[in-house]
Structure 1
Amino acid sequence: MTALSSKNCSFQYQLHPPQQPLEPSCLLFLIILGKVLLNILILRVKREDTCWTLMEYFCFSLAFVDLLLLVNISILTYFRDFVVLGIRFTRYHICLLTQIISFTYGFLQYPVCSLACVDYWCHLSRATKQSSRRQKLLYFLTVILTWISVLAYVLVDPAISISLKAQRGYVYQCPSYVSTQSHWLSLSMLMVLLVAFLISWQEVVALLQAMRIASYRNKAVLYFPFPPHCSYAGSCREALLPRLFVCFLGTWFPFVALQVLILSLRVQIPAYIEMNVPWLYFVNSFLIAAVYWFNCHKLNLRDSTLPVDPFINWKCCFVPVHRLKQVERPMSIVIC
């Protein structure tokens, strides 16, 4: 009887073997696939009436690189061990490729934000507008040059090369680079938002009580009271700050809460995941609000060449309530 029970147990064990954990290649494939789908979703839901800016080109280039990474991981995972042009590719190259991409994404944070900020600043200060084709070519070349420069730095830097060679023996564990640039960038934006709220919390509360949600061209739009006329730039910035704060937080509050949670728990997110299209659009909205605030005295009420946000309609948010019925075409942002 005991022997029979032992055989039955052995037979049942053979029928139901324990499940093995997913290989790193399969896990990377699922992560990058989810990231690619998220990029496509964000690019589809953004406003289509926005003009092309440098940040738009960076977002599309990032989505393309993610898609290219997904294709390469799929090929390496499927064939596992093959030779192309005398070069042997194995599962190790999946980890190597992911690490190179992680370093590249991690070092792209500051250059992308700096170039986008300069682009918006020059956009407002530019006396004459360049031709559209010439400007798009300049944006395209800038994006390509930035990617090549950062990738060349990653491949040439001795410390990074030593780190990549040290992980050559890791096949089932693929450690990835965690960017410090994104950490400090996120922390800086949260600190600026906190200071802005502390400075104008009374005006923010008053705006929340006075704002109205209306329908304009089949879209929900927030309308605030018309800001009073400003005699100098200081009072103009004081009147504009709470409106920018409410509009930004009203759109990106879930993302702001996510950043607070990540920083509070000290979550270590690999750079190839953290650098994504939603993150770039979040930073983009912050940069546009900052440029608006610093250059409020330069903005023209009827200027149609102002930087346009793909997710926040800064212009319509500042149309006064008593002029709602008189609006027949999209209005520019109403500044002091």
Structure 2
Amino acid sequence: MIISIPSILLGLGGKCLLSCALVFLQWNHICKSFLGVFSVSLAVVDTILTLFVTTLHMHADGYIILLGLKLTRYHVCLLVQILGQMCNALQWPVAVVAGLDHFLRVTRRLQPVTGRTRFIVCLFVTGLLWYLAALYVFLLSDFIPVMEGVYHTQVHQCWIIHTTQILQVSMFLLLTLCCAALHAGCSTRFLKNPPLKDQSTDRSRAHSRRDVVYQAIHIFLKTWALFLFFLAMILLLPVGIPAYLGLNIAWLCFLNSLLIAVVLCAVCPVSQVTQGLAAVPPDSFCEWTFQCIVSVS
């Protein structure tokens, strides 16, 4: 898709304002998880890029000298295209690492680890992901900047790729959540007949699993139903999300809640949830509290 540079700058500016607002909203706990640390790094990268390309585009001479290099409006399109490629490359790795982080936290596999150690590890992994994404874009991918043959001092619009990774990640996780709900429902349906003595425990566990799954899905949908509707519209309508806007903190907040729901429903033992032994990761949008579940005998 071809987008004018003023529209790109407006989109980047809006993204930065939204990122700053969300970081401020979650400041008390945003650095306590991998997604929080990565969100801060993303806000910093977006802000630096926005200020740089805005200065470059608005400069009267059409160019600036930085570290001995002559940078022109040509480089605005180049930098935005590079950012879009890196955002596309980071979507799945961020989702996988965040899912692993949530699993270890919910199941208390890393309970002895201190908060400071966790922050240092998250900071290191975040830096490593940015480095690997840059390495992939510049050395391993088939990325070729598209400048439409315009002379570098007269560039007024840029060719921008769109992202599909958001839909891929969300569809995969939503299907996993649906499969967990179907499995929980089928487990109780198969045990609806009066159980024998040695089956009473299995039936109680099945009902507990169903209640946990249904409550988790209800908590998630109560907050993010409108966002899911927006994703559905993007899937159905012939529109695309520019790649440089695809990886944003609003999307990471949604991903955080969705991963928590998936881990609680599909991975975490129901006994840890019902007995309050599961350590739910920080979430500023969903309140992950479960009602007391009565065992069925």
Range of TM-score over shorter length: 0.7 to 0.9
* Residue ranges of structure 1 left out of the alignment (5+ in a row): 1-22, 202-228, 321-333
Q: Structure 2 counterpart of 1:73, which letter?
A: V
Paired residue for 1:312? 286
Query: Which of 123, 133, 149 lines up with 2:116 in the alignment?
Result: 133
Question: Cα deviation per residue 1:299-324 (whole Å; 9 max; x = unaligned)?
Answer: 26344843232211102xx245xxxx
CA contact (8 A) 2:184 2:209 kept: no
Distance change (3 Å), C-alpha of 1:51 and 1:57: closer
Q: Report the Cα distance in structure 2 between the residues aligned to 1:55 and 1:200, rounded to whole angstroms.
A: 28
SS in structure 2 at match of 1:82: strand
1:335 deviates by 9.7
Match status 1:268 vs 2:235: no
Higher RCO, 1 or 2 (CA under 8 Å, sep at least 6)?
2
CA distance 1:138–1:49, change in 2 (3 Å): closer
SS at match of 1:314: coil
AA matched with 1:309: D
CA deviation map 1:21-61 (0-9, x unaligned): xx933222111111111112223334846771111111111
**What is the match of residue 5 of structure 1?**
none
- Amino acid across the alignment from 1:62: L
Counterpart in 2 of 1:96?
78
Q: Could you say what the CA RMSD is over the residues aligned between the two structures, in angstroms?
A: 2.9
Q: Is residue 237 of structure 2 the alignment partner of residue 257 of structure 1? A: no
- Which consecutive unaligned segments of at least 5 residues does structure 2 have? 186-200
- Larger radius of gyration between Structure 1 and Structure 2: 1
**Partner residue in 1 for 2:5:** 25
Which residue of the partner structure matches residue 104 of structure 2?
122
In the alignment, what sits opposite 2:142?
159
Q: 1:90-147 CA deviation, whole Å, 9 max, x = no partner?
A: 1000000000000000111100010011111122241642122111111101101111
TM-score (ref. length: structure 2): 0.80
- Per the alignment, residue 20 of structure 1 pairs with none
How many percent identity over aligned positions?
29
288 and 47 in structure 1: CA distance in 2 versus 1, 3 angstrom threshold:
farther
Indicate if the aligned counterparts of 2:173 and 2:262 stay in contact, CA closer than 8 A.
Answer: no
Q: How many residues align?
A: 270
Give the CA deviation at 1:253.
1.0
After the TM superposition, which residues 1-336 of structure 1 pair with which residues of structure 2 at under 5 Å, given as runs?
A: 24-46=4-26, 48=28, 52-79=32-59, 80-123=62-105, 124-126=107-109, 128-157=111-140, 159-160=142-143, 163-164=144-145, 166-167=146-147, 169-170=149-150, 171-192=155-176, 233-293=205-265, 294-297=267-270, 299=272, 301-303=275-277, 305-315=279-289, 318-320=290-292
Q: Distance in 2 between matches of 1:98 and 1:277?
A: 18
Does the Cα contact within 8 Å between 1:105 and 1:271 map onto a contact in 2? yes
Scaled by the length of structure 1, the TM-score of the pair is 0.72
